[in-house]
Structure 1
Amino acid sequence: MQLVIKSLSKTYPNGVKALKEISLTINQGMFGLLGPNGAGKSSLMRTIATLQEADAGSIYLDGLDVLTKKAEVRQLLGYLPQDFGVYPRISAEEMLDHVAQLKGIGVKSERKELVSALLDKVNLTKDKKKNLGTYSGGMKQRFGIAQALMGSPKLIIVDEPTAGLDPAERNRFYNLLSQIGENTIVILSTHIVEDVRTLCSDFAIICEGELMYNGEPDAAIVEIEGKIYSKTINKEDILQYKENYGIISTQLKGGQLNLRAFSETDLGNGFVPVPVVLEDFYFSKIAQKVDVITL
């Protein structure tokens, strides 16, 4: 199973270049997609999901042309956008049965068996008769995955799936995605960078429509090992440090500002080397394109 994206480009009518010759090869398993707001992540996912046209480039899913064979692709696709609506007065069981019909499953007994299996997979069997409007955030997300799994898709795309979930719900949700990723391609867009290291064997960083990195999380960390330095300062001094050091991120605590900086050499001046996390690599890449300091 493989998704191959080559030189994909998209410019919107307002002149925004959302995608600039993006090329990626995504294999079976979980693939992380990182980038700030407006980076082009959603544009890329909508294009893969056949929801918008590309200006140039190609996408192939196991040899199937995604950009020209939309109907065929949709039969192999499961998509969970960041914001998806539910009909509040219909039960999960009824809604999944409707989705199954849309997927072309015409035999009622087959639909019933499939719906039951999906509800069990996402741990919603005991709540299958409840109206979707009564579901908690975590339950709605699990329902979203159930409808995305309808028809045994070869490719599943999930956009910021854990937004608004508490830590326990987020862990349960990611455990489910990991199980799914054993047999299909799962593209996961998330703002929680460290989750990518935990869950994904491969990932990419996109910023301002450009591909900034594609590789393994552990390899990314090795690339900057020993090159991240930290120092705590008064927040009033940030502009001075911003001008003179490669500051990639800041964290304010108790009126003091902790800086993290990227440097090939020892910075001195009170900066000390610190253990690297994937978030450091992410910020070091997007700092090449955008101002990461907001204070």
Structure 2
Amino acid sequence: MQLVLQNLSKTYANGVRALDNVSLTIPTGMYGLLGQNGAGKSTLMRTLATLQDADSGTAFLGDLDVLNQKEAVRRTLGYLPQEFGVYPRISATELLDHFALLKGVVNGRERTQLVEALLHRVNLFEHRKKAVSSYSGGMKQRFGIAQALIGDPQLIIVDEPTAGLDPGERNRFYNLLSEIGENVIVILSTHIVQDVMELCNNMAIIHQGRVLYGGTPSAAVASLSGKVWGKSITKAELPTYQQTHTIISSKLVGGKPQIHVLSEADPGDGFEAVVPDLEDVFFSEIQTGVARR
């Protein structure tokens, strides 16, 4: 099963071009969609989740036309949006039962068995009688995955799932997503580079509605081998280096800016070669992508 997108475009009424000819082939497994806030990730996710229309282009999940066979797509789709609202004072069991009924599981015994199995799978069974609104952030996200799994979906869309989670909750969520992604397409939309590094065998980088990179994280990192250089500078020196070098990232280390620059050759001036990582790829693609526009 593959999800194939061709030239998807979307422009809002205010003139913002949220998607600009997006073309991607997304295979079974964990697929990372990496981009800054406002890059177009949520617009793409909502379009694939059949919640809004694209202006042009195509999207096929196997033989299903995502843009024109919405009811059929919804039967094979699981979706965890960025803002997952829950009813107050309703327990996890009751809410999952309600979602299962909406998904078409009309037999009461089957629904009960399904709800219990899902709560076990996301490790919430012992908390099944508690109101979902009382759950921690990580527990709510795991509940969100449980509702997304109703109906054995072939495509699961997860939008910014780990924002606000503590390290322990994030790790538990990582493990759950990895298990799910063994057999279905899971699109992980995020601005957190670590999420993609930890989970995804394939990825894309999107910026200002355009796909800047599509492929494996390892190939992306390898493409920068020998091209990233680092140096510790003073804050006062930063504007000068911004004018004379292609700075792809700057962060404080010990109170002083540590800059990474992109250069085909040794820039000298005290720079040292840096082993690139996916964060370097992310910022370099955005930097060069902006320069190409």
Alignment correspondent of 1:60: 60
- Could you tell me the TM-score, scaled by structure 2's length? 0.97
Alignment correspondent of 1:189: 189
Q: Does 1:287 align with 2:249?
A: no
CA contact (8 A) 1:48 1:66 kept: yes
Alignment correspondent of 1:172: 172
- Offset of 1:188 from its aligned partner? 0.3
Query: Secondary structure of the residue that 2:288 maps to in structure 1?
Result: coil
- Offset of 1:199 from its aligned partner? 1.1
Query: Secondary structure of the residue that 2:220 maps to in structure 1?
Result: helix
Q: State how far apart, in whole Å, the 2-side matches of 1:173 and 1:68 are.
A: 33
Alignment correspondent of 1:207: 207
- Offset of 1:68 from its aligned partner? 0.7
Alignment correspondent of 1:198: 198
Q: How does 1:111-130 map to 2 (within 5 A)?
A: 111-130=111-130
CA contact (8 A) 1:155 1:186 kept: yes
- Give the residue type in structure 2 aligned to 1:183: N
Q: State how far apart, in whole Å, the 2-side matches of 1:290 and 1:150 are.
A: 41
- Give the residue type in structure 2 aligned to 1:187: I
Query: Secondary structure of the residue that 1:109 maps to in structure 2?
Result: helix
- Offset of 1:37 from its aligned partner? 1.2
CA contact (8 A) 2:212 2:289 kept: no
- Give the residue type in structure 1 aligned to 2:151: G
- Give the residue type in structure 1 aligned to 2:15: G
The count of residues paired between Structure 1 and Structure 2 equals 291
CA contact (8 A) 1:82 1:158 kept: yes
CA contact (8 A) 2:92 2:131 kept: yes
Q: State how far apart, in whole Å, the 2-side matches of 1:274 and 1:57 are.
A: 40
Query: Secondary structure of the residue that 1:18 maps to in structure 2?
Result: strand
Q: State how far apart, in whole Å, the 1-side matches of 2:253 and 2:26 are.
A: 39
CA-to-partner distance for each residue in 1:19-66, whole Å, 9 max, x for gaps? 111000101000000011111111111100001100000000111001
CA-to-partner distance for each residue in 1:6-29, whole Å, 9 max, x for gaps? 010000000000111100010100
Query: Secondary structure of the residue that 2:229 maps to in structure 1?
Result: strand
Where in structure 1 do 4 or more consecutive aligned residues deviate above 4 Å?
none
CA contact (8 A) 1:5 1:58 kept: yes
CA-to-partner distance for each residue in 1:82-126, whole Å, 9 max, x for gaps? 111111210000000000000011000000000000000000000
- Could you tell me the TM-score, scaled by structure 1's length? 0.97
- Offset of 1:275 from its aligned partner? 1.2
Alignment correspondent of 2:139: 139
Alignment correspondent of 2:102: 102
Q: State how far apart, in whole Å, the 2-side matches of 1:290 and 1:9 are.
A: 19
CA contact (8 A) 2:158 2:187 kept: yes
Q: How does 1:19-98 map to 2 (within 5 A)?
A: 19-98=19-98
Q: State how far apart, in whole Å, the 2-side matches of 1:38 and 1:289 are.
A: 15
Query: Secondary structure of the residue that 1:10 maps to in structure 2?
Result: strand
Alignment correspondent of 2:13: 13
Structure 1: 5+ residue stretches without partners = none
Give the superposed CA RMSD. 1.0
Alignment correspondent of 1:270: 270
Query: Secondary structure of the residue that 1:212 maps to in structure 2?
Result: strand
CA-to-partner distance for each residue in 1:194-248, whole Å, 9 max, x for gaps? 3312211100000011110000010111100111100111111111000000100
Report the more deviating stretch, 96-105 or 195-204.
195-204
- Give the residue type in structure 1 aligned to 2:221: I
Q: State how far apart, in whole Å, the 2-side matches of 1:34 and 1:133 are.
A: 29
Identity in percent: 60
CA contact (8 A) 1:194 1:277 kept: no
